[in-house]
Amino acid sequence: MPKEDSSSDEEMEPTPSTSQLKEKKTAANGKPKRKRLQDYLDEKAAREVAERAEEMLRLRRKRGLADDEEDPEETMFPVINPINFVKNKEIRHKRFKRLQSVKRKEEKASKKTRQLEGTPSAPTHTIESLREKDETTVVNIEGEDQAEVMNDLANDEFREYYQKSYEPRVMITFNATPHDRTRQFGSLLKKMIPNASQFRRNKTRLKRVCQSAIREKFTDLLVINENNKKPEGLLLIHLPEGPTAHFKISNFKGLKDLRRKEDDISTHRPEVILNNFTTRLGLTIGRMLGALFHYQPEFRGRRAVTFHNQRDYIFFRHHLYEFDKNGKRVKLRELGPRFTLKLRSLQVGLYDGKCGDYEWMITNKRHLMESRRRFFL
Tens digits of residue pLDDT in 197-228: 999 888 888 889 999 999 999 999 999 999 98
Q: What percent of the chain has pLDDT over 90?
A: 28
Q: What are phi and psi for residue 26, nearest 5 degrees?
A: -65, -40
In a domain, 221, yes or no: yes
Residue 267 sits in which domain range? 155-368
In a domain, 139, yes or no: no
C-beta of residue 332 within 8 angstroms of C-beta of residue 319: yes
C-alpha 177/C-alpha 229 separation (Å) is 10
In a domain, 112, yes or no: no
In the structure, what pLDDT confidence band is assigned to residue 10 with cuts at 50, 70 and 90? Answer: very low
Sign, CA dihedral 136-141-143-144, equals positive
In a domain, 14, yes or no: no
- pLDDT for residue 4: 45
What average pLDDT does the segment 251-267 reach?
Answer: 88
In the structure, what pLDDT confidence band is assigned to residue 368 with cuts at 50, 70 and 90? Answer: low
C-alpha 212/C-alpha 204 separation (Å) is 11
From 31-45, 146-160, 223-237, 280-294, the region with the lowest mean pLDDT? 31-45
Sign, CA dihedral 112-113-119-125, equals negative
In a domain, 287, yes or no: yes
C-alpha 167/C-alpha 295 separation (Å) is 8
C-alpha 288/C-alpha 73 separation (Å) is 50
In a domain, 164, yes or no: yes
**pLDDT greater at residue 14 or residue 208:** 208
Name the percent of the chain in helix, strand, coil, to the closest 5. 40, 20, 40
In a domain, 142, yes or no: no
- pLDDT for residue 11: 43
Single-letter amino acid, residue 74: E
Q: What is the DSSP string of 160-188?
A: HHHTT-S---EEEEE-SS--HHHHHHHHH
Other CB atoms within 10 A of residue 23 CB: 13
Q: Is the pLDDT of residue 341 over 90?
A: yes
CATH number of residue 333's parent domain: 3.40.50.10480
In a domain, 277, yes or no: yes
**21, 241, 282, 293, 312 from 247: Cα distances, Å:** 80, 19, 13, 18, 11
- pLDDT for residue 9: 42
- If 0-12 CB within 10 Å is exposed, 13-18 middle and 19+ buried, where does residue 276 land? middle
Count the domains in the chain.
1
In the structure, what pLDDT confidence band is assigned to residue 173 with cuts at 50, 70 and 90? Answer: very high
